[in-house]
Amino acid sequence: MTPMSQTEDWLSHLNSSDEFEVRFKPQILEKFAKSAPKIAVLASNEYEIISKNGGIGTYYTALSRKLAEDGWYVILLICQNERKFEGDSQIPALAHIFSPLEAVDVLELNPIHLEILETARQDSVGVWFDYQSFCCFLLVRAIVSQFPDSLVYVEFAAIWGFGYRTIQAKHAGLLGQKCLTAVTTHGSFEWLREINRRYVVNNIPWLWRSYHYEQVSYEQADLTFFPSYFLMEKEKSYGWRAPHAQNLPYFIPHIDLTTTPDRITELLEGELKTDKICVIFFGRLEERKGLCTFVEGIKQLEPSISEKIQVIFLGKIVSLESPKLSHLNSQEYIDREFGNEVPYKIFTDFFSQEAISLINGLSHPIVCLTSLQENFPNTALEMGQIPISIVASDTGGFRETLGLLSRTDCVRWFEPGDSHSFRETIAEAIAAHPETPLVPTRESFDEVDRRLLKQRLEFMDEKLTISKEPSNPKVTIGITGFEPDESFLQCLVKLDRQTYQNLEVLVLYQTSPEMETAIATAREKFPNYQFIESDENLSLGAAYNLLVELATGEYCLHFLTHNTALPFMVEKFAEAAVSADADAIVALQMKVGSQVKAVNLMECSLLKLLEFDRDRDVCALFSKQLLTEFKYSEIRELQAVNWHLVAAAIATGKQMAYYPYPLYLSQDNPQFAIDLADWPKERYYLRQYLSQIDSSKWAQRQLNLLLSGMEQLLQGGQSHAQVQEVQGALDWQKAEAEKWKAQMQAWMETAYLMQDEIEMLQTQEFAVEEVTVQ
């Protein structure tokens, strides 16, 4: 039996959603504790010791330690890491470590799981987002299955949207009430684009995906935390909505000021041994960290001041992104600007603790924190604990972090992005050198951390006490039976086997002798179904509108007869609707034919939807309220009318839910697909449908995305136009060359003919002369 036929066989026997359960392989299960009342799953692409990056990694390192000290069983999912950990951990705070990329190796997956992952992996954009996100979801589901009686707290960083699929699944009621999802925002790609001054962008689909995944994760998580009010206001300006979001600063990281690594000692006693004042740029060497402000300000210092200093850069060398510097990396930029005028050294490969030891070992250094904007930087939390002079940009993030430490002594502020303000401030610090500031005690920091942990646990408890009353809303299924084919009765049989009981089935059919026979049979087999006769030749949208008018359910689902409903379809749609309090509920689309394919992973981004590259309509559950507010388009020959409703729900900011597994199967038959030639028409009328929605109903987020999308597409269009212009010139030159080549060929042929004629005439004249002479 081929793998594909195994999948079809598996699907044909699928009677319960329990068969989508995920478990660890036996050799991995052996590594887990027998029980653990409190489990914390932390998902991040950074973690100290495993990666050299700070920021997010430092945050999750501190969080894991605090939770472990409080008795939590902590599991790390280290994203974007190809190493295979197999659950093993040598880090005391972590019980287990997994990379999402090893999910296939450590989990027992069914054919549907494998097909979903393969579909995501083959997508050139999705491999960055959906593949990692689905792997995280499958690992989390396996952990929840392994510890069914435990509280499972799952926290993701908002950036990259690693939590997108897990958070959607919990939102749809799939992970149970004892699983809590959380997101802490450390920044987003929208914000990074702004502060990096990346006004011209490449790979637009990649950006759109990141914008959508990060925003949805932030908004739909059970708990959403922002460490900085400054960052929260920034993301609100992009249209992000999370009224439940709570301010929760980072823990204050423990830094070791008592020991110095041998590598650092060698530097302090050798290369960095100096009588000059060490002025340190601390952070990634990039524009958003204020690299240009720092360099320009140092260059502006009077020679009498600059000759007293030794500049040290501690941070990662990266490619610069602002338009004027995008051809340089940070080292090339520094080399170009400083040359031989300012003595400087760059150190790029330190772990966080090594960098801290180096700064602490220098004699009264001045550390510069020069970011244009900041969220809640760990650099400030670390530097604020060391008795050094600090020069910081007066941006919200630095004010909030140093405020958390109660660190004010020997801290000087300058205007963000203003090199003149920085020059004056650094000159003041140099003039005051050496300084020995007063630093709050470690005991005071520990008290702050205890308060922050207590606050986090209270947020969890508060969320766990909120429970929804069990609800079984009435669901109306509308069937449009325009053709009396075999699939018509098969569809009704499948619906009759649904596990959900509070169900109403309406069958709308068009009068014909053949249809009357099929309906008579159906009435006999399904006496509880309502059969509505229509004499009119209705469009699909008009038929749907008629069924909505007749429906008595709180929710409606229009179902095409060539689709196959899985037994638990309505049950899971209804559970998701109740769990998310949603107006629109969609599920992964899967088609079956010569092969089984996860045809649509359902990203549900409006920008993606407007591309309309879909070969079939979606089967979705909609609230009666939504269908009353937004009628179906009644234009004939349109097939993707449910997509119109999904788009309207997104555009107006309605609550949506997504079920991550298939609830129905589509036939992979061209007869039932939207022809490729019709996609432009469907795309056009989708846009027309959205344009009819009153502008006051549009969500700010969707307007922001549409304007951003237009801006980026116009950039792409300009680039495309420039390419087209150059290509046009080349084509013209080529055509001209070909034309002249043809013309030259014609002239040459004419010349040869003329030469032949001349030679012929000359021959004739010679012959006449010869005859005359004779």
* pLDDT tens, position by position, 505-543: 999 988 777 788 888 888 999 999 999 988 778 999 999
The residues near 521 (Cβ < 8 Å, ≥ 6 apart) are 489
CA distance 554 to 472: 10
Q: What is the pLDDT of residue 478?
A: 96
Give the residue from 121, 150, 138 showing the smallest Cα distance to 37.
150
Q: Given a cut of 50, is residue 551 above it in pLDDT? A: yes
Domains of the chain, start order: 14-247 (3.40.50.2000), 262-436 (3.40.50.2000), 475-698 (3.90.550.10)
**Average pLDDT over every residue of 443-453:** 95
Q: Given a cut of 80, is residue 288 above it in pLDDT? A: yes
Q: What is the pLDDT of residue 744?
A: 47
More confident residue, 712 or 682: 682
CA distance 124 to 397: 35
More confident residue, 53 or 223: 223
Burial label for 448, CB within 10 Å (0-12, 13-18, 19+), is middle
Determine how many CB atoms are found less than 10 A away from the CB of residue 717: 12
Q: What is the pLDDT of residue 750?
A: 47
CA 336, 337, 338, 339 torsion: positive or negative?
Answer: positive
Residue 720's pLDDT band, with cuts at 50, 70 and 90, is: very low
**pLDDT one-digit tens code per residue, 91-141:** 999 999 999 999 999 999 998 899 899 988 888 787 788 899 999 999 999
- Cα distances (Å, whole numbers) of residue 462 to 163, 451, 466: 22, 16, 7
Q: What is the pLDDT of residue 9?
A: 60
More confident residue, 323 or 702: 702
**pLDDT one-digit tens code per residue, 687-708:** 999 999 999 999 999 999 898 8
Q: Given a cut of 50, is residue 499 above it in pLDDT? A: yes
Q: What is the pLDDT of residue 708?
A: 87
Q: What is the pLDDT of residue 716?
A: 60
What does the DSSP 8-state code read for residue 24?
A: E
Alpha-carbon Rg for the chain, nearest whole angstrom, is 34
Q: What is the pLDDT of residue 51?
A: 77
More confident residue, 125 or 47: 47
Q: What is the b/e burial string over 548-585, where b = at least 16 CB atoms within 10 angstroms of the residue's CB?
A: beebebbbbbbbbbbbbbbbbbbbbbbbbbbbbebbbb
Residue 735's pLDDT band, with cuts at 50, 70 and 90, is: low
**Average pLDDT over every residue of 229-242:** 93
Q: What is the pLDDT of residue 765?
A: 45
**pLDDT one-digit tens code per residue, 10-20:** 565 677 777 78
Q: What is the pLDDT of residue 594?
A: 62
Is the CB of residue 224 less than 8 Å from the CB of residue 183? yes
Give the residue from 616, 721, 614 showing the smallest Cα distance to 673.
616
80: left (phi over 0), alpha (psi -120 to 50) or beta: left
Q: What does the mean pLDDT of the chain come to?
A: 87
**Average pLDDT over every residue of 260-273:** 89
Q: Given a cut of 50, is residue 747 above it in pLDDT? A: no
Q: Given a cut of 70, is residue 3 above it in pLDDT? A: no
Q: Given a cut of 90, is residue 67 above it in pLDDT? A: yes
**Average pLDDT over every residue of 426-433:** 96
